[in-house]
């Protein structure tokens, strides 16, 4: 018995790297998988249907069930057809893994509008497009008395949660995906749908293009444990997709190599209040803000970057 027996999953961007590892392991644990991939380059150019077909063949060779889909997640109707492919082929949909993405790195002062738009369109719009159509299906199932036990798993990155120079487009998209996921968890829980994120790592095509003399391999080609295997995040996706994770929603897990942790969302730090001499609430004096933050929050009397630059 697999953890996902009887379930049907969509994995977008499943032709290579992280998404490929997730699709294969979901199938290994019993899920029937729609392998979605356009077969584009890292920057989103070109298309090759054979990429998705190859992953389907890998899954079938391991005893699993899968079908390829070549629609674009960035297209609203294309995303609708991805969901339709799962329902028409396998009769249902239980798991949506959003992993499709492109990369166009540049410093913001050199970035063209089309480079920003392309990344936002695939990552942010792509995630919303598929969630939009899948959530409509699950809501209708719930209203018909067939309450789902469904899972959305979206892919995020430290570029969005911690920041990374030259990736203002990619980071903005990934931060937006994390926010969308939290909101989806609030909106869809009544319909039996949980929504979480996974922050993966490893030697993917995206990483490989920034490194010289490295071999980018498919996840199933690693014979022993390797921290750089992009398939190392797949176990967390399998668990989040399973009914074992029912109590968990609105969370961001990071799984890189053999490391597992949970990201903490934005939190409010120590709170300060403006008051007059009698202790009555009053509006802040701008001149007091730096003094209060410097002394009580940053614990410094450093005059700041401008004064340092004038030295």
> How far apart are alpha carbons 272 and 270 in whole angstroms?
7
> How far apart are alpha carbons 4 and 27 in whole angstroms?
8
> Helix 17-28 crosses helix 234-241 at what angle (to 10 degrees)?
50
Q: Which DSSP string do the residues of 29-71 spell out, in sequence order? A: TT-EEEEE-----TTS----THHHHHHHHHHHHTT--EEEE--
Angstrom CA distances, 57 to 24, 46, 220, stand at 10, 22, 13
3-state secondary structure of 112: coil
SS (H, E, C) 124-155: HHHHHHHHHHHHHHHHHHHHCCCCCCEEEEEE
The residues carrying an active-site annotation are 157, 170, 174
State the sign of the Cα–Cα–Cα–Cα dihedral 147, 153, 154, 158.
positive
- Which DSSP letter does residue 167 get? B
């Amino acid at each position: 018995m697999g953890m996902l027996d009887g379930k049907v999953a969509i994995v977008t961007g499943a032709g290579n790297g992280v998404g490929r590892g997730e699709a294969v392991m979901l199938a290994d644990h019993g899920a029937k998988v729609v392998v979605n991939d356009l077969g584009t380059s890292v920057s989103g150019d070109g298309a090759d249907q054979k990429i998705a077909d190859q992953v389907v063949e890998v899954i079938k060779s391991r005893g699993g069930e899968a079908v390829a889909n070549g629609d674009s997640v960035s297209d609203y109707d294309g995303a609708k057809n991805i969901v339709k492919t799962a329902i028409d082929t396998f009769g249902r949909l239980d798991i949506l893994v959003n992993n499709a993405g492109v990369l166009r790195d540049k410093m913001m002062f050199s970035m063209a509008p089309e480079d920003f738009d392309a990344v936002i369109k695939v990552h942010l719009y792509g995630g919303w497009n598929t969630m939009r159509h899948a959530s409509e299906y699950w809501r209708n199932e719930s209203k018909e008395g067939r309450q789902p036990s469904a899972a959305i798993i979206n892919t995020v990155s430290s570029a969005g949660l911690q920041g990374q120079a030259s990736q203002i487009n990619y980071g903005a998209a990934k931060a937006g995906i994390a926010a969308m996921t939290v909101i989806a968890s609030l909106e869809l829980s009544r319909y039996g749908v949980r929504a979480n994120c996974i922050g993966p790592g490893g030697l993917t095509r995206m990483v490989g293009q920034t490194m010289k003399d490295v071999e980018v391999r498919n996840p199933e080609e690693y014979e022993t444990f390797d921290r750089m295997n992009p398939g190392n995040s797949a176990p967390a996706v399998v668990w989040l997709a399973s009914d074992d994770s029912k109590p968990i929603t609105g969370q961001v897990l990071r799984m890189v190599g053999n490391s597992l942790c949970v990201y903490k969302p934005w939190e409010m730090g120590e709170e300060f209040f403006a008051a007059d001499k009698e202790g009555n609430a009053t509006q802040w004096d701008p001149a007091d803000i730096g003094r209060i933050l410097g002394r009580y929050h940053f614990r410094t009397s450093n005059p700041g970057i401008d004064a340092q630059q004038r030295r």
